[in-house]
Structure 1
Amino acid sequence: MDYALPRRVAFLLFAIVVVTWGLNWAVTKVIVHSVFPLWATAIRTAIATAALFVVQLARGQLIIPRRGDWPVIAAIALLHMVAFSALVAFGLKFTPVGRSIVLGYTTPLWVVPGAALFLGEPITRPRLVGTALGLLGLAAMFNPFAFDWSNREAVVGSGLILLAALSWAANILYVRAHKWVSTPFQLTFWQTLLAAVVLAILAALVDGAPQINWSPALAGAFFYAGVFGTALAYWAMAMVNRSLPAATTSLGILATPVVGVVTSTLALGEAVDISLLLAMVLILAGIAIGTIPAKRGSAGQDKQALVATIARP
């Protein structure tokens, strides 16, 4: 059974998770330069599945899913762990990490109109303002002075990341509508297991048998992405969400793109221009204004959605 952590410990663990996920984008960029994106995602997910099995078994959280659990297992596995992760991996082959992570974190902006259309949630003034700011951020990122529209790879890469964000948004919408039987963390092992199987089948069909030139650096990158960037981070985030208010975690997770951009600049030598910085500020401000729970009654639902979907790399 998981218990709430002391506040100081919870904040420290939360900071570690944010840094870990921010670094994970740069690590994934390194991996997809050596391994086909589908195989890269499949191997990372398989490593995470094995690590989650050990973590959940050790903590007594490994369960057999009930009938009501399987729809959300399938939704998260297919929409987020397969579609989002694979599209991001493909997109990172053509798009810098900084741009990719900012585009990937536009997801909550697409949730606002989706929730109004499919879930009947009202578009409040804060949500409208937040969405408008986010769209201004996208306009800043794709203006002709900052983005080369004649570069086909750049256009395709950015389009794949945006499509990934839409897949993530569809996943969040389903999670909001789902009636939970087991807890989100208890189902994570089964989600990664299903995703690993589907990804391995897709990779085999599209790319054939994996042909990987293993090196210590590549093995270390896979180990980090699977164990620290996925499995242990999921457990840590579940603990953090039991210990800190939903608004705190919702705001704090917005530091992840900042860490990703800084990491890509320092470790990969990627340039950060004014348009990217402006876009990041506008998009993250829009998310903060439009998606942070304002009412006590909605905090519980938002916290479960955060555990299940939003707080992932």
Structure 2
Amino acid sequence: MPLNIALFLATILIWGSTWYAITFQLGAVDPSVSIGYRFLLAGSVLLGWLVLRRQPLWPARKTWPLIAGAGLLNFSLNYLLVYKATVLLPSGLVAVAGSALSLMNVLNSRLFLKQPLRPAVLLGGCLGLVGVLLLFSPELEGGALVSGALAGLGLMMLSNYSASLGNMVVSTARRGGMPLIALTGWGMVTGAALMLGLAAVRGADFSVSLTAPYLLSLLYLALFGSIAAFLCYFTLLGRMGADRAGYVSIMTPVVALLISTLFEGYHWTPAGIAGLVLALAGNLLVMAPPGLFARQSAKGHA
């Protein structure tokens, strides 16, 4: 299996399951505390791995602004907004709203990284987004987008843009040669410090729920949802570019929907099936190598 495909599948399978895992984090503990503990644990594991492997631990002084940017945008603000939105929105709608990240990555890659805006990527992102909206169309029925739900949707759009800007920061750091594990580890620790600092300012309770669901979900979110998935995703950023790697955010809700079918009794509808087909078609379009369609057209005229 090509490495890019393996990284892509691993990322969407893990992140697709984190939507379900997050439900075990809500209510018992302040969101900023849960997020802080999650990334403090994940970042410490990564930095400890560097120490065990006797690899360089301390980044160059000039890279700290990029690390701080990744910590703020990818590992604190982004997730705080997601947790807040989950309180106001159904989980399916949160997943759908998160899929807008792919389009934001395409536009920001053009704006900040001067990457060409390939029509196939843009078309595939739009096609996939329409498919995911169809997948979750039952969530949109019955006046879901009213009162506090509109505020939740706004929070998710802000979360997406925070994550997209963070992706630009990571891409810039990787282009500058910063090691991936060090960047991710220090970014997570920085994000955790920001979240725990916010919790302290707000006077939040730092105790955790000593129940199996909360602790197991915390470990899963830290070790798999944070370490494994982010390393896969950031590697994709370096290998494919932020526009195509960002399509992870389109396919992740599809996985979340399949998990919901197994564990939450989600009922498939004709619109849902059509949405899955569109989402997969958009995925194939975005993941196609650059120039593939031009080569196919040339063959057709040969």
Q: TM-score range by the shorter chain?
A: 0.7 to 0.9
Residue in structure 2 matched with residue 82 of structure 1 by the alignment: 76
Tell me, in whole angstroms, the C-alpha distance in 2 between the residues paired with 1:99 and 1:158.
8
Give the root-mean-square deviation of aligned CA atoms: 4.0
Residue in structure 2 matched with residue 196 of structure 1 by the alignment: 192
Deviates more, 1:183-192 or 1:144-153: 144-153
Q: Which amino acid aligns with 1:148?
A: G
Contact 1:53 1:189 in 2 (8 A): yes
Aligned length: 290
1:141-186 CA distances to partner (integer Å, 9 max, x unpaired)? Answer: 6899736256323222222222211111222233444542322223
Q: Which amino acid aligns with 1:219?
A: L
The DSSP-based 3-state class of the residue aligned with 1:209 is coil
Contact 1:27 1:225 in 2 (8 A): yes
Contact 2:43 2:185 in 1 (8 A): yes
Q: Tell me, yes or no, if structure 1 residue 95 matches structure 2 residue 89.
A: yes
Alignment TM-score, normalising by the size of structure 1:
0.74
> How does 1:32-51 map onto structure 2 within 5 Å?
32-51=26-45
Residue in structure 2 matched with residue 172 of structure 1 by the alignment: 167
Contact 1:101 1:261 in 2 (8 A): no
Quick one: structure 1 residues 61 and 118, their matched pair in 2 at CA, closer, same or farther if it must change by over 3 Å?
Answer: same
Deviates more, 1:262-271 or 1:223-232: 262-271
1:23-75 CA distances to partner (integer Å, 9 max, x unpaired)? Answer: 11211122023222212211111121222223333344452101332232122
Quick one: structure 1 residues 32 and 273, their matched pair in 2 at CA, closer, same or farther if it must change by over 3 Å?
Answer: farther
Residue in structure 2 matched with residue 107 of structure 1 by the alignment: 101
Tell me, in whole angstroms, the C-alpha distance in 2 between the residues paired with 1:118 and 1:238.
17
Tell me, in whole angstroms, the C-alpha distance in 1 between the residues paired with 2:30 and 2:268.
27
Quick one: structure 1 residues 8 and 169, their matched pair in 2 at CA, closer, same or farther if it must change by over 3 Å?
Answer: closer
Q: Which amino acid aligns with 1:195?
A: G
1:73-116 CA distances to partner (integer Å, 9 max, x unpaired)? Answer: 12211111112111111112222333222321321211223333
Tell me, in whole angstroms, the C-alpha distance in 1 between the residues paired with 2:67 and 2:223.
20
Tell me, in whole angstroms, the C-alpha distance in 2 between the residues paired with 1:174 and 1:16.
23
Q: Tell me, yes or no, if structure 1 residue 67 matches structure 2 residue 65.
A: no
Residue in structure 2 matched with residue 162 of structure 1 by the alignment: 157
Residue in structure 1 matched with residue 14 of structure 2 by the alignment: 20
Q: Which amino acid aligns with 2:68?
A: A
Quick one: structure 1 residues 254 and 117, their matched pair in 2 at CA, closer, same or farther if it must change by over 3 Å?
Answer: closer
Contact 1:95 1:154 in 2 (8 A): yes
Contact 2:128 2:250 in 1 (8 A): no
Tell me, in whole angstroms, the C-alpha distance in 2 between the residues paired with 1:149 and 1:102.
13
Contact 1:254 1:284 in 2 (8 A): no
Q: Which amino acid aligns with 2:41?
A: I
Post-superposition offset of 1:219:
1.1
Q: Tell me, yes or no, if structure 1 residue 266 matches structure 2 residue 262.
A: yes
Which of residues 42, 48, 52 is equivalent to 1:54?
Answer: 48
Tell me, in whole angstroms, the C-alpha distance in 2 between the residues paired with 1:114 and 1:238.
16
Tell me, in whole angstroms, the C-alpha distance in 2 between the residues paired with 1:236 and 1:150.
34
Deviates more, 1:127-136 or 1:65-74: 127-136
- Unaligned 5+ runs, structure 2: 293-302
Quick one: structure 1 residues 282 and 84, their matched pair in 2 at CA, closer, same or farther if it must change by over 3 Å?
Answer: farther
Post-superposition offset of 1:202:
0.9
Which of residues 189, 201, 207 is equivalent to 1:205?
Answer: 201
State the percentage of identical aligned residues. 25
Deviates more, 1:87-96 or 1:196-205: 87-96
Quick one: structure 1 residues 109 and 238, their matched pair in 2 at CA, closer, same or farther if it must change by over 3 Å?
Answer: closer
